[in-house]
Amino acid sequence: MTTLIHPTALVAPGAKLADDVKVGAYSVIGEHVEIGAGTEIGPHVVIEGHTRIGRDNRIFQFASLGAAPQDKKYAGEPTRLEIGDRNTIREFCTFNLGTIQDAGVTRVGSDNWIMAYVHVAHDCQLGDQIILANNTTLAGHVHLGDWVFLGGFTSVHQFCKIGAHAMTAFTAAVTQDIPPYVTAAGNRAAPNGINSEGLKRRGFSSDTIMAIKRAYKALYRQGLSLDEAKAQLAQMAQTEPAVQLLVDFIAQSERGIIR
């Protein structure tokens, strides 16, 4: 293992690194860190706290993972950061530990592409296959579903949820939940169609995409109240399973959806 760790790197004795983990120059790995096989840590990276990182991740220089949350209530509790497999984490990203006011863990799934200067605050829960463009900022307790794509400089208010396959435009300011499939833009973020191109790339059939478009129109374009739209979506979901994702998301929304 020592042949893969640069001599200037500082790896605490209690850290658990798989034999083929690479650690670059001047990086610091803390006492309670676990890193899985095939993961590469660039130079000048700091990984601290109770942080567990899976297999085959690539973490670029100057990232900070597992630092204390930016929450004045945090008092040093042994909360956690968990990162899955095959993620790319670019320069100057900051991922914080969770807090005991929530589940006590910040989670990042697998196969995510996270660009430079992204901030993932305490207690965020990220799924798989997500793209976060440069300078995306997630406040505490934000949840992102699978295949979410957030444009550069997107800011997401604490406790917001963004559903699977949703997308934001450059500089979107998200203050309420974004349902699955929906594209949002503006400050404050407003609905702007569905992510049809992304759905095509992921193999959604033309019939399914058309059903999602009809659901979007019921929710946003027909002048229906939210209760009326929810009733229509529930009816559509009986014949189109993809619409059920919308129905379930709206039912569980606590901040309310963008409209």
Nearest CA-CA partner of 88 in 108, 58, 110, 117: 58
d(CA 134, CA 131): 10
Sheet holding 161-162, edge to edge: 16-17, 33-35, 50-53, 80-83, 105-108, 125-126, 143-144, 161-162
Q: What are phi and psi of 76, to 5 degrees?
A: 85, 15
Compute the half-sphere exposure of residue 63: CA atoms within 13 Å on the CB side of its CA: 29
Catalytic, 193? Answer: no
Q: State the catalytic residue, choosing from 102, 123, 128, 146.
A: 123
- Phi, psi at 149, each rounded to 5°: -130, 115
Q: Which ranges in 92-186 belong to alpha helices (H)?
A: none
Amino acid at position 12, single letter: A
- Residue 16 makes CB contacts below 8 A (sequence gap 6+) with 33, 34, 35
Q: Which of 32, 44, 122, 165 is catalytic?
A: 122
Does 140 qualify as catalytic in the annotation? Answer: yes
State the catalytic residue, choosing from 36, 54, 84, 140.
140
Residues involved in catalysis: 122-123, 140
